[in-house]
Amino acid sequence: MMSLCHLFMKFVLMFALCILFLRHMADRMGTPYLQRQLNQQLTNHIRDTLPALRNRLQSQLLAMEKEVEEYKNFRPDDPARKTKAMMQCVHIL
């Protein structure tokens, strides 16, 4: 039968070994590590997707500006416009 002192020493030794074993994992555990990882992933995602998003928005802006320019001189009562619309309807049918 083991003495209490012997059991305690065995427990202390096991605890010390666990601490040494887990020490190399300490920098990869906890909220600060998770925060750094998520921040890095978000930064990479933004860096990867921002140029395409910017290009798409710029092309949409140019298309809208072109459409606005077309409608600047729009007159709904223009007979030429009515004729063109009617011809398009006939052409579709």
Quickly list H helices, 1-93. Answer: 4-23, 31-72, 79-92
Tens digit of each residue's pLDDT (9 = 90 or more) over 41-63? 999 999 999 999 999 999 999 99
| Residue 71: half-sphere exposure toward Cβ, Cα within 13 Å | 6
Domain boundaries, the chain: 31-73
Count of C-beta atoms within a 10 Å radius of residue 16? 10
Flag whether pLDDT at 80 surpasses 80.
no
Count how many residues are written for the chain: 93
For range 75-89, the mean pLDDT: 75
